[in-house]
Chains A and B, each alone.
Chain A
């Protein structure tokens, strides 16, 4: 009995904390070998580049864990295998983004010129013309949508977080916001068209209708993001304000909203960027035109997504110029959305509460 105990003790007395490890350059070596091996097979069998890459990835995903299992242990092999899978997933997700950006930039950049940004399509047939009218339209329609959605969204979120609590009303509002999130954009367009057709007669087309349609899509996004941001404001700050004899509404306006401001601004900007690329509702209610229109409330208004759609579907004769302009407009649209995202990040940092540390 006592010898057994001693035996067990002596086994435990040495704790091996290290085990053999593959060198740090092992993944790189395996990758190089996998690419070479796959390349050999591909060249022999006459496969293309895609098959080559796929085969190399498969070889790598098998070879590295196998080597690891041989030298290291089962846990390390599993770790390397899952790490490989995660990288593959990441790469797969990047492929569409990369190819999309490549295609749009390579097709769009040659079109960009001073004329492209400063001319409308008025009386342009074939070469020339520009997207000035569509940029103006997109900015105006989106600004109109934001002017409707931001107050409604922020006030709804304030109600939900600060006043609603668990009341039936708050639960109903939350439910309806969730339902609104799922509304297809074409339905939003039809809603706006039906609304204004009832008021002004059928065939109505104007920019503000587009703003209304986009705000239907934008309000739930704003409500959701602002609600999350307000919930993040510590309850202690509200109590500190109440304890100073500050009424609830002033507490919300002067303490809660400033504390959450960076998140609110970021959420609003992302919602703007999200609806800016909507095509379907604007096709229906904002319409399409070749001229610059500065008024949201009269006449048709061209927007970038609709411009892209029509330029590509009805490029005119010869079609090359219209299609080229479609790529250029698509590139400009992506650039505007990306600029808004960057602006949102910058503003978010700007407004963030300062710790001074």
Chain B
């Protein structure tokens, strides 16, 4: 069910401000692609443009093509809601719905869309999603407790369970572990390893060790200069990026020398 993503000549704007310029890359299916780079270089903006979440911000718009499964998601006849059903997202800060229980949070994608489900089917989805998110054992006794009663790391895994409960093709993760402690981070990284068997995963991270640990391919974003738009400097296999990158600026960033 996983699909690859072809991006060509993507320009991303906030109003008149060009934030990201001329991105062209292919994200392979059933693998993990990491996006790294300094703050403000447009990694998250690029990620959000992959499932049309970017345009939720007033004035934001996109030029160029993002092709998934042979369809340009920015085509004029594309429904952004349908795109987002296929491309799930996990955010930097865990954001479970505060009015809902753990159970309802996991099934939120179905419930909010008023999908008719039998109780047993819903139970199955909840259990399967929570098991996939490595959270089932911790919460199976208290599925009716509020989602906000969990710890930060558990909340983030709850959000991942919620995202995979709707069975998307692609899972986008925007710094999913940056607000978490090392143990929760390791739990999430293990989870990413397991999920890539079924999903195409794109992860934005500030942690280069994390990128090296979890991903097959890595894209390095950087600003062309102060006040200039961000751009994709290099896209290569993770092994190559972290050993012999093509671009000197990639090497400078990875080895801790900025330039």
- Which A positions have Cβ atoms within 8 angstroms of B? 165-166, 234, 236-247, 250-251, 254-255, 258-259, 261, 353-357
Contacts and interface: CB of A to CB of B under 8 A. Distances in A.
Contacts of B53: 239, 242-243
A355 B148 contact: yes
Interface of B: 51, 53, 56, 58, 81-86, 88-89, 91, 93, 95-99, 108-109, 111-114, 145-146, 148-149, 159, 162-163, 166
24 contacts: A234-B95, A239-B53, A239-B91, A240-B96, A241-B108, A242-B56, A243-B51, A244-B108, A244-B162, A245-B85, A245-B109, A245-B113, A246-B113, A247-B113, A250-B112, A250-B114, A255-B97, A259-B99, A261-B99, A354-B148, A355-B148, A355-B149, A356-B145, A357-B148
A243 B47 CA distance: 12
Listed residue (A165, A239, A245, A354) with the most chain B CB atoms within 10 angstroms of its CB = A245
Contacts of B163: 243-244
A247 B97 CA distance: 16
Contacts of A234: 95
Nearest to A354: B146
B8 to A, nearest CB: 24
Contacts, number: 92
A244 B166 contact: yes
Given A242-B53, A244-B84, A246-B112, A355 B146 contact: yes
B95 A236 contact: yes
A356 B149 contact: yes
Contact of A236 (B82, B85, B93): B93
Given A239-B91, A244-B84, A353 B98 contact: yes
A250 B166 CA distance: 16
Contacts of A356: 145-146, 148-149
B148 A240 contact: no
A350 to B, nearest CB: 12
A242 B112 contact: no
A255 B112 contact: yes
